[in-house]
Amino acid sequence: MPKIFGNKKEVAPVAAEEAAHSASSRQQALEERQKLRAQRKEKREHRKEAAMPSKKESLSSSKMSSKPKLTQQERDARDAKLGCCYYFTKFLAGAMHFIDFVIGLLAIIYGAVIDFTSDNPATEVAIALIAYGCVLVTGSLMGVFGFSYKCCKRCGLLWSMYIAPLITTYYFFLIIYFLSDQKDVHAYLEEHKESMYLNDESLAQLLKLMPVVYSILAGLAVAEMVRYCIVKKVRDQLVRYDAASARIASSTGTGLSEPLIPDSEYEA
């Protein structure tokens, strides 16, 4: 009979070769897995190193936030001292209040002269000047009141502060009105030049200098906004100063022996 299954001696080498091949493939697969594990480990280490600065920043911020806050006594001791910056800003605020007072007083006087001493008065100009002057004078006097008296959390300075945007709006309104309707403005000035104590030469000079007038109005508007910021800063400092001084005086059981704001420091 012919041999169907072959010789056993021929089958043994083939099985050995297959076993060796499978062992080498398993070894290769194991090496590939080890390489992948090493790569994943390196990636994890890189991510940890990249996350270290953010952790340091978070730790530093947490340390900063965990610093003990100032006690009420420490805050009062700090607020009860007025530094050099306060006196400088106070001087600027006082100078601006004084300038506003002078301009407002001159506007009131000029408007009253126009309205009461002429047969054909420029009533519109007179009313505008008197109203403008009254607002300026009121703001200046309220500023002086706020510096001198600490009642109602320096309400005088608060009124003076909120008048500044109103005056700024008025300046910009004048600029827009003069630029948009120059012919009517020139005609009105020509008609009422005598009541406004303007002759032909002065009127012609005024019309030539209208760009300068616009610049002056814009500068005054900016100055009013600067005054708003300065007065707000000074008022906040004074309100904290008043509250801290009151708490210190009540804790010690004695009143303040000296006025908070001497009269000689502010003149307007």
Residue 10, domain member (yes or no): no
Residue 140: CB atoms within 10 Å: 24
Contact 93, 231 (CB under 8 A): yes
What's the pLDDT tens digit per position in 56-115?
555 555 555 555 677 777 776 777 787 788 889 889 999 999 999 999 999 999 999 998
Residue 43, domain member (yes or no): no
Range of the domain at 239: 77-251
Residue 82, domain member (yes or no): yes
Residue 265, domain member (yes or no): no
Residue 119, domain member (yes or no): yes
- Whether the model clears a pTM of 0.85, i.e. scores above it, the answer is no
SS3 26: helix
What's the pLDDT tens digit per position in 9-30?
455 565 666 666 677 777 777 7
Reduced DSSP (H G I as helix, E B as strand, rest coil) percent helix, strand, coil of the chain, to 5: 80, 0, 20
Residue 260, domain member (yes or no): no
**Which residue from 219, 268, 265 is spatially nearest to 82, judged by alpha carbons?**
265
Residue 12, domain member (yes or no): no
How far apart, in whole angstroms, are the C-alpha atoms of residue 242 and residue 76? 10
How far apart, in whole angstroms, are the C-alpha atoms of residue 156 and residue 144? 7
pLDDT score of 250 more than 50: yes
**Which residue from 135, 139, 143, 132 is spatially nearest to 94, judged by alpha carbons?**
143
The number of folded domains in the chain is: 1
Residue 109, domain member (yes or no): yes
How far apart, in whole angstroms, are the C-alpha atoms of residue 43 and residue 215? 66
